[in-house]
Amino acid sequence: MSFHDPRLRFPLLPSGAKVVFGALAAASRPTEDLTISEWSDRYRKVSPESGSPWPGDFRTDRVPYRYGAGLRHIRAVPPPVDND
């Protein structure tokens, strides 16, 4: 079996370079710049088995004792970057 046999047998098979570089391009796209509370509101889910009166989408404004003004501000500040 030569290198060209798979290409002849599977003409719709994408080239390895396309697959690898496509994956690298997808992985290098910038992520969303969200604070922790914004991320929680968008992606966090509350399980019905948790016993919460509000299963489903998590909402930060429902738990002010945990995400009060001071704590929300602290969580919104990005961590320092170490340039060493």
Per-residue pLDDT of the chain (84 residues; tens, 9 = 90+): 566 677 788 888 888 889 999 999 998 888 888 888 888 889 999 999 988 888 999 888 877 665 455 445 555 566 667 766
Residues facing residue 46 across a β-bridge: 56
Residue 67 DSSP label: S
Which position has the token pair 């930060």? 60
Taking the CB of residue 40, how many other CB atoms lie within 10 A of it? 17
DSSP helix/strand/coil, 78: coil
Q: What is the spatial distance between Cα 14 and Cα 63, in angstroms, rounded to a whole number? A: 49
Q: What is the pTM of this model?
A: 0.45
Phi, psi (5° rounding) for residue 7? -65, -35
